[in-house]
Amino acid sequence: MEPIFVTDRIKNIIPIIREFVISELIPLEKDHLTRPFKQTEIILQAKREKVKALGLWGLHLTKEEGGHGLTLCEFGQLSEIMSLAPYYGQYTFNCQAPDIGNVELIGKFGSAAVKEKFLQPLLEGKIRSCFSMTEPEFAGSNPTRLGTTAVKEGDEYVINGHKWFTSSADGAAFAVVMAVTNPSAAPHERASMIIVPTNTPGFELVRNIPIFGETGEGWASHAEIRYTNCRVPISNLIGQEGAGFKLAQERLGPGRIHHCMRWIGIAEKGLDLLCKYAVSREIEEGVLLGEKQFIQGFIAESRVEIDAARLLVLRTAHNIDLYGAKAVRDQISGIKFYVANMFLKVLDRAIQVHGGLGLTDETMLANLYQHERGARIWDGADEVHKQAMARNILKTYGLDIKKKNK
Amino acid sequence: MEPIFVTDRIKNIIPIIREFVISELIPLEKDHLTRPFKQTEIILQAKREKVKALGLWGLHLTKEEGGHGLTLCEFGQLSEIMSLAPYYGQYTFNCQAPDIGNVELIGKFGSAAVKEKFLQPLLEGKIRSCFSMTEPEFAGSNPTRLGTTAVKEGDEYVINGHKWFTSSADGAAFAVVMAVTNPSAAPHERASMIIVPTNTPGFELVRNIPIFGETGEGWASHAEIRYTNCRVPISNLIGQEGAGFKLAQERLGPGRIHHCMRWIGIAEKGLDLLCKYAVSREIEEGVLLGEKQFIQGFIAESRVEIDAARLLVLRTAHNIDLYGAKAVRDQISGIKFYVANMFLKVLDRAIQVHGGLGLTDETMLANLYQHERGARIWDGADEVHKQAMARNILKTYGLDIKKKNK
Amino acid sequence: MEPIFVTDRIKNIIPIIREFVISELIPLEKDHLTRPFKQTEIILQAKREKVKALGLWGLHLTKEEGGHGLTLCEFGQLSEIMSLAPYYGQYTFNCQAPDIGNVELIGKFGSAAVKEKFLQPLLEGKIRSCFSMTEPEFAGSNPTRLGTTAVKEGDEYVINGHKWFTSSADGAAFAVVMAVTNPSAAPHERASMIIVPTNTPGFELVRNIPIFGETGEGWASHAEIRYTNCRVPISNLIGQEGAGFKLAQERLGPGRIHHCMRWIGIAEKGLDLLCKYAVSREIEEGVLLGEKQFIQGFIAESRVEIDAARLLVLRTAHNIDLYGAKAVRDQISGIKFYVANMFLKVLDRAIQVHGGLGLTDETMLANLYQHERGARIWDGADEVHKQAMARNILKTYGLDIKKKNK
Amino acid sequence: MEPIFVTDRIKNIIPIIREFVISELIPLEKDHLTRPFKQTEIILQAKREKVKALGLWGLHLTKEEGGHGLTLCEFGQLSEIMSLAPYYGQYTFNCQAPDIGNVELIGKFGSAAVKEKFLQPLLEGKIRSCFSMTEPEFAGSNPTRLGTTAVKEGDEYVINGHKWFTSSADGAAFAVVMAVTNPSAAPHERASMIIVPTNTPGFELVRNIPIFGETGEGWASHAEIRYTNCRVPISNLIGQEGAGFKLAQERLGPGRIHHCMRWIGIAEKGLDLLCKYAVSREIEEGVLLGEKQFIQGFIAESRVEIDAARLLVLRTAHNIDLYGAKAVRDQISGIKFYVANMFLKVLDRAIQVHGGLGLTDETMLANLYQHERGARIWDGADEVHKQAMARNILKTYGLDIKKKNK
């Protein structure tokens, strides 16, 4: 918690959420890896009702959408607290990715009809959705290159394509699909975002892709999907034709804040587990792990790095609130790679301190690492963000590399 | 391959093994994660027969044991090649851990009866064995602290204890168990090594422990075991009573060479996959991944670090051959942490370069990382080896920390 | 600049200081290494008059002292700007270390007489002072161990001791000396701070110590000093007898903010030089340095790390303003090692990007590195701060290492 | 020392050199920074006579040149020992850079007349030489780009140009100058190497360039030089016209071995000083620095990294001996950046462990760092070697980046 970013509005909510997470969700973690996912979903359904009863539903939503009208910076801080139960927190509060991004997208750019049909049940937590952009055939770091097409026929789009890493597709009611509608336009203006219900003929969930050995299920999965002559009404378009890339950018700004705050919560959890073990594990007769300088080094460095990460993310969120994502895209790139690397390092240290135990399923550390190693890859690999950021900085020094190399 | 360490004896064997691994074993990898383990075992059984037919069985054995009488340094180089098929290589050549260590141990210190009963079938590949030392209740980095006891009653030992990370126990015919026989002796002289057949009443394989999410099976597993009043004949003792710690040290020297060479083989495989992807994946229109300096940096650094690791390990093996493990225990500590960190870093880079694909089960990279993250922990965590090594070095400068702090 | 910390009071001062630094001070840098120090002092004297004329004198002072009454957090941000001319900035604004610390110390704890005699001329910039704590015979990281003694005789202290790294002693009017007055008290209550004018008989400036090859002169130097029967009136005591360690701690909190903000200013300067060179230096025919990913990586990482550092320091300063240094000593430890490492890394990258040029005296980079390598050592080495911080964190988990090891 | 590389020929020489360095040279270090350079030269002249008397002169030379006919790998190991007195070692044995490189160059490619006039006195240690390649106007990492020209007029070359980092020019009898003789040839065939005596009219040593604050003198300096209509006979050409780049490559292979072995010697010295301090400095009452894990970590990591570096360099030297430099240019690139980074890191750790003392001139550590920070830059910056190495590796995978981007 950074007091400077804590507003009056969230000052009182934070302890309530923390208490809820600690008493309602964290106790569920013990059996997470052995309990069937379906059963977890049932348990969480009850927790979601409690959240509603507490008036904490829709913390990410505008007042118009029935939410609290929090800023991104305010919500981010709540999201961190939810992440102390990383598997359940966001879902229980109905602000899990990718729904949170889709809600924002449709809320801003969807037609009234689309909102009624697709947004409303999302807000109520009756359905889930997914976001279908990355394709195996093209490097994900360059979203202007796509093989999926949406061809207009009459008042329908006919969609064909192959996607993967469509997270949470398993069980979702619809996908927001990125497809080329305007192949002869400039690269950044070729694609559009179109809603495809998952019961559309031709929508095939090929498989949930094993990620670091874990196939997952439901919202905790990443699907490979084929779209074969999927027909949807033209009115399922979000925003303008050809605006897909622009919308994706728009979506990513807050999306990265959400991810980063979640990662910071996980880092806090990792450091907490590390410290708890350090004060309880005897390494030699009468000597606790925490008395060893190597362990102390891990603790001190983790503490500073987590704090640095949180400050970076919250000031970026604050700036998005004030100036919009585009104005601070370098800050967004910066937190993406800084936080992703930071929290994986903290998790790795926590595993190392736990020794053999850290590799097992008796702590969540190894499982979290498996789940999250992708953080340095998706939404733009470290390398892509570093390059993009540096190029923007160099532009202010008069070197426009993109233009120069045209 | 480092020509300076390649002897005439292995010069001709290396290409044969490489060819065997490439043509017989690597093609099996594609289905590794989906094929039932039992079926894999059957397939490998046939490959083991081929190895015998080629006269390459028992590469790690002395001539007396029916082997080739290779030095540790020579064998290590063959082991690296086997590791290019990390799941199958060593097993197919019957020189997988922990059997390879047990063979050496029993070969050196077992009585004639023990050798006939337990060693011979191991050499022939008819049975497998395991090594049961680490206990959940005590920090594994300090093997002098043990809760497992072996009490002499008549001509039997009665063994009680709780172990975990007993690798390959699933399906093994016997365990070499580390147990306290002399509780009132000096710490380093309390434990003994005793052979316990797994069909001994009271031997309970509680479970295969999920390691980084993977439970494994057969020799590819790590078990939790309870020993409850397990009775074995006194003649199952290996070496002297109270010599357990000394034997464990003896066992670890070559054992670390084996692990390190395996890790180097894995690193080579990781770098190879990285390079192959770098020359084939388009990142932008007409630009391949390998043209990017970030990727080039990964490649150059990995290349040098792998070479450094191999040189360090082979010179250490060479010195063990010449002077014994005790004389170069600092070198053994050094390679343990250097190589473990090196190859995990190379794997991590390879995953990163593959992007999303690197997280899936379509390359072996993520799976190898899961399997092997423990490298920095077992057989002594990085931190333990660094401390031990530095203390030895400082002793040559006149500071004996252990003695000082007594 | 982090808008969230920019108050109305400093919003207008910042551009004025920046302009002053750019137009009045940075042009002096070119000849810094060749111009005699005395001549530099004369030039800066004129600049100091300009500062007074602009009403910017004493930015660090309370209103009572004739200053602006800025908070530490506000002043810190101005100090960063001054550091864009690292050799001249703080001195020109009369808020250079160690005077700034001594001013604060005497302002808070000096008697009226001491204030009139020693503080007033400091505030006016008529004299300089130094702080004499570290001793060659004892590890500087443990300020409770001191060999220097101050024995009361009548109404005088008789001081004997040997100090080094007494920065800016050369030309100073007085030293604040840390000396043992109560040898039989508890370790933390043995030492006192006493003012010793440098013209006191027995005060011997042995030499300015070459630091990374640079001996320096005047305020840009670090002296070795012998105190031999130096007699000063008892009224020269600052605060209570035995309070020396407590005062030193008090002094260090804000002192570390000052240093850290200066280092951040230097990092910004380093990154700026790096970027300027990257957009102007051709590395191959038609290819500029800045087009290379390695260089881009340096830029992006530096940008994020500098921002992280600034946020960490300003929130710490803000918290000191609100709660006092003691309440956030962990944050102070954290920034000490984080920022020191960060800015040296940025300087090192800037040197590397400049190639041979970066090693010469044609940029300030190498010289700054020489000057500042000590940042990771003085005021507590990295290792000391990490240990202290971790121990405090572990105390909140119930492990009080100091108490346990007593 | 790595026994595997120690031949019978050097087994006996090593202890003699070590003894010489310890008893004759290291005692001179204490006053190195205060003793006038000219006086040091006189002292070393006497030491050089002793070396001759011991029959250890010309250890780097072929038997034909009056040397010992050692391989590069053998000589490298002696060079490491000399570096334990880094300022004096190589010079005292007359195998200092750049003379050692020039000797090899002229020995291989000089005409008989050139050899008699320039090589012979070099071999005898009567004169010194320098190598004049790098130019301030062009990135040093790309030696095919040069502004210096040598125009043939009659039987003379007329040379014009501007060079810097011409090491040891101060006091040298001649320079080997890299100059464009064939401006219309392919880039790699434009330059030639020509001997220019330093008393040639038009040869102007502008200044010794301060490197990290140290201007140096004599062979311990790096000069800026202007060549203005310098006329030298055509017979001063080394090798063929246009072969300059090829010769430079030829020169660099062994040259990098020399540098790397010198750096390894320095690293050993740094680690030795670190350990000595660690066992003697009390950090708390009764606790020595060496008892702290942070320091132990520095020691263990340094030990392994130095060993890795030595093995990498010696196997590379061995391969150059067997196959020539061209065949192992990747190994040469690899050691260049690996060793340069390694030994600077070791020096940095040694400085850190010494605390304030490490910054002063009372140990050689800071001074060595100043001298040697350039190691990561000259003879090809880290980044250049990594790129070159990776490109070569990728070529073996079928991607020829240079060709592709033509």
pLDDT in tens, B332-387: 999 999 999 999 999 999 999 999 999 999 999 999 999 999 999 998 999 999 99
Shared domain for D208 and D267, answered yes or no, is: no
Q: Which residues contact A39 (CB under 8 A, 6 or more apart)?
A: none
Tokens of C364: 């300030």
Tally of CA atoms within 13 A in the half-sphere of D285 that contains its CB: 7
Closest CA to C28 of C4, C44, C49: C44
Which residue of chain C comes nearest to B297, CA vs CA? Answer: C294
Closest CA to A166 of A213, A226, A106, A114: A226
Chain A residues whose beta carbon lies within 8 Å of the beta carbon of residue D291 = none
| 3-class SS letters over chain B | CCHHHCCHHHHCHHHHHHHHHHHHHHHHHCCCCCCCHHHHHHHHHHHHHHHHHCCCCCCCCCCCCCCCCCCHHHHHHHHHHHCCCCCCHHHHCCCCCCHHHHHHHHHHHCCHHHHHHHHHHHHCCCCCEEEECCCCCCCCCCCCCCCCEEEEECCEEEEEEEEEEEECCCCCCEEEEEEECCCCCCHHHCEEEEEEECCCCCEEEEEECCECCECEECCEEEEEEEEEEEEEEHHHEECCCCCHHHHHHHHHHHHHHHHHHHHHHHHHHHHHHHHHHHCCCEEECCEEHHHCHHHHHHHHHHHHHHHHHHHHHHHHHHHHHHHCCHHHHHHHHHHHHHHHHHHHHHHHHHHHHHCHHHHCCCCCHHHHHHHHHHHHCCCCCHHHHHHHHHHHHHHCCCCCHHHHCC
Q: Is residue B70 part of a domain?
A: yes
For the residues D181-188, what does the mean pLDDT come to? 93
For the residues C265-279, what does the mean pLDDT come to? 98
d(CA D404, CA D406): 6
Q: Which chains touch D (3 or more CB pairs under 8 A)?
A: A, B, C
Amino acid B144: pLDDT: 74
Amino acid at B128: R
Shared domain for A289 and A140, answered yes or no, is: no
d(CA C115, CA C120): 6
Amino acid at A126: K
Shared domain for A314 and A217, answered yes or no, is: no
Concatenating the DSSP letter of every residue in C23-56 gives IIIHHHHTTTTTS-HHHHHHHHHHHHHHHHHTT-
Chain B residues whose beta carbon lies within 8 Å of the beta carbon of residue A283 = 139, 141-142
Point out the least confidently predicted range of B41-50, B240-249, C227-236: B240-249
Which residue of chain D comes nearest to C376, CA vs CA? Answer: D352
Q: Enumerate long-range contacts of A139-142, CB under 8 Å, 24 or more apart.
A: A139/B281, A139/B282, A139/B283, A139/B284, A139/B289, A139/B355, A140/A165, A140/A377, A140/A378, A140/B355, A140/B356, A141/A380, A141/A381, A141/A383, A141/A384, A141/B283, A141/B355, A142/B283, A142/B284
Q: Rg of the Cα trace of chain D?
A: 22
Residue D45 burial (CB count, 10 A): 11
DSSP letter, residue A213 = T
Shared domain for C315 and C183, answered yes or no, is: no
d(CA A139, CA B288): 10
DSSP letter, residue A66 = T
Tokens of D285: 């009452």
Amino acid A273: pLDDT: 98
Closest CA to D301 of D369, D235, D241, D348: D348
- Confidence tier at C141 by pLDDT (50, 70, 90): low
Which sign does the torsion angle of CA D276, D282, D283, D288 carry?
positive
Which sign does the torsion angle of CA B232, B235, B236, B237 carry?
positive
Q: Is residue D116 part of a domain?
A: no
Please report, in tens digits, the pLDDT of each residue of chain A (406 residues total): 899 999 999 999 999 999 999 999 999 999 999 999 999 999 999 999 999 999 999 999 999 888 999 999 999 999 999 999 999 999 999 999 999 999 999 999 999 999 999 999 999 999 999 999 999 998 765 667 899 999 999 999 999 999 999 999 999 999 999 999 999 999 889 999 999 999 999 999 999 999 999 999 999 999 999 999 999 999 999 999 999 999 988 888 889 999 999 999 999 999 999 999 999 999 888 899 999 999 999 999 999 999 999 999 999 999 999 999 999 999 999 999 999 999 999 999 999 999 999 999 999 999 999 999 999 999 899 999 999 999 999 999 999 998 988 7
Q: Does D293 touch chain A (CB under 8 A)?
A: yes
Q: Is residue A250 part of a domain?
A: yes
Amino acid A145: pLDDT: 84
Q: Which residues contact A24 (CB under 8 A, 6 or more apart)?
A: A47, A50, A92
d(CA D302, CA D267): 8
Q: Does D280 touch chain C (CB under 8 A)?
A: no
Burial of D83 (0-12, 13-18, 19+ CB in 10 A): buried
- Picking from C180, C207, C242, the residue at the C-terminal end of a domain is C242
Shared domain for C159 and C66, answered yes or no, is: no
d(CA C159, CA A161): 85
The CATH number linked to A193 is 2.40.110.10
Q: Would you call A286 helix, strand, or coil by DSSP? A: coil
- Confidence tier at B398 by pLDDT (50, 70, 90): very high
User: Do the Cβ atoms of B235 and B111 come closer than 8 Å?
Assistant: yes
Q: Would you call C207 helix, strand, or coil by DSSP? A: strand
Amino acid D244: pLDDT: 94
The CATH number linked to C391 is 1.20.140.10
Closest CA to A97 of A86, A109, A108: A86
Q: Is the pLDDT of residue D196 over 70?
A: yes
Closest CA to A51 of A74, A85, A1: A85
Q: What is the pLDDT of residues C54-64, one digit of tens each?
A: 999 999 999 98
Closest CA to D255 of D379, D130, D380, D73: D379
Shared domain for B29 and B79, answered yes or no, is: yes
Q: Does A48 touch chain D (CB under 8 A)?
A: no
Q: Do A294 and D294 touch (CB under 8 A)?
A: yes
d(CA D2, CA B316): 10
Amino acid C272: pLDDT: 98
Rounded to a whole number of angstroms, the distance from the CA of B187 to the nearest CA of chain A is 11
Chain C residues whose beta carbon lies within 8 Å of the beta carbon of residue B293 = 292-294
User: Do the Cβ atoms of D281 and B394 come closer than 8 Å?
Assistant: no
d(CA C230, CA C196): 8
Q: Which chains touch C (3 or more CB pairs under 8 A)?
A: A, B, D
Rounded to a whole number of angstroms, the distance from the CA of B151 to the nearest CA of chain C is 36
Shared domain for D205 and D254, answered yes or no, is: no
Amino acid at D212: F
* Best of D281, D303, D318 to mutate (most B CBs within 10 Å, chain B): D303
User: Residue D240 to residues A385, D100, D102, D152, D193: CA-CA distances in angstroms?
Assistant: 49, 21, 16, 14, 9
Shared domain for B277 and B220, answered yes or no, is: no
Q: What is the pLDDT of residues C183-224, one digit of tens each?
A: 999 988 999 999 999 999 999 999 999 999 999 999 999 999
Residue C270 sits at the vertex; the CA angle it makes with A317 and C335, to the nearest 5 degrees, is 55
Q: Rg of the Cα trace of chain B?
A: 22
Q: Where are the beta strands (DSSP E) in A90-132?
A: 129-132
- Confidence tier at B139 by pLDDT (50, 70, 90): confident
The interaxial angle of helices B365-372 and B329-354, nearest 10 deg, is 150
Query: Which helix (H) or strand (E) segment is D57 a member of?
Result: none
Shared domain for D175 and D324, answered yes or no, is: no
Shared domain for D220 and D302, answered yes or no, is: no
Range of the domain at C166: 129-242
Rounded to a whole number of angstroms, the distance from the CA of D277 to the nearest CA of chain C is 12
Q: Would you call D230 helix, strand, or coil by DSSP? A: strand
Q: Is residue D266 part of a domain?
A: yes
Q: Do C398 and A279 touch (CB under 8 A)?
A: yes
Shared domain for B251 and B359, answered yes or no, is: yes
Residue D27 burial (CB count, 10 A): 10
Q: Is residue A118 part of a domain?
A: no
The CATH number linked to D31 is 1.10.540.10
pTM for the predicted model, two decimal places: 0.97
Amino acid A253: pLDDT: 82
Q: Is the pLDDT of residue D86 over 80?
A: yes
Amino acid C76: pLDDT: 97
Q: Is residue D111 part of a domain?
A: no
Closest CA to D248 of D109, D116, D381: D109
Q: Is the pLDDT of residue C346 over 80?
A: yes
Amino acid C406: pLDDT: 74
Amino acid D376: pLDDT: 97
| Chain B (137-156) residues lying within 8 Å, Cβ to Cβ, of chain A | 138-142, 145
- Confidence tier at D142 by pLDDT (50, 70, 90): low
Shared domain for B12 and B144, answered yes or no, is: no
Beta strand C174-180 pairing with C129-132: parallel
d(CA C281, CA D289): 45
Q: Is residue B101 part of a domain?
A: no
Considering chain C, what is the average pLDDT of its residues?
95
Q: Which residues contact D249 (CB under 8 A, 6 or more apart)?
A: D325, D326
The count of structural domains within chain D is 3
- Picking from D197, D225, D242, the residue at the C-terminal end of a domain is D242
Burial of B169 (0-12, 13-18, 19+ CB in 10 A): buried
Q: Is residue A105 part of a domain?
A: no
Between A209, A213, A382, which is nearest B213 by CB?
A: A213
Concatenating the DSSP letter of every residue in C241-285 gives TT-HHHHHHHHHHHHHHHHHHHHHHHHHHHHHHHHHHHTT-EEET
d(CA B189, CA C364): 62
- Picking from D50, D80, D95, the residue at the C-terminal end of a domain is D95
Tokens of B84: 């290019």
Query: Which helix (H) or strand (E) segment is A204 a member of?
Result: strand A203-208
Q: What is the pLDDT of residues D340-399, one digit of tens each?
A: 999 999 999 999 999 999 999 999 999 999 999 999 999 899 999 999 999 999 999 999
DSSP letter, residue C172 = -
Q: Do D377 and C356 touch (CB under 8 A)?
A: yes
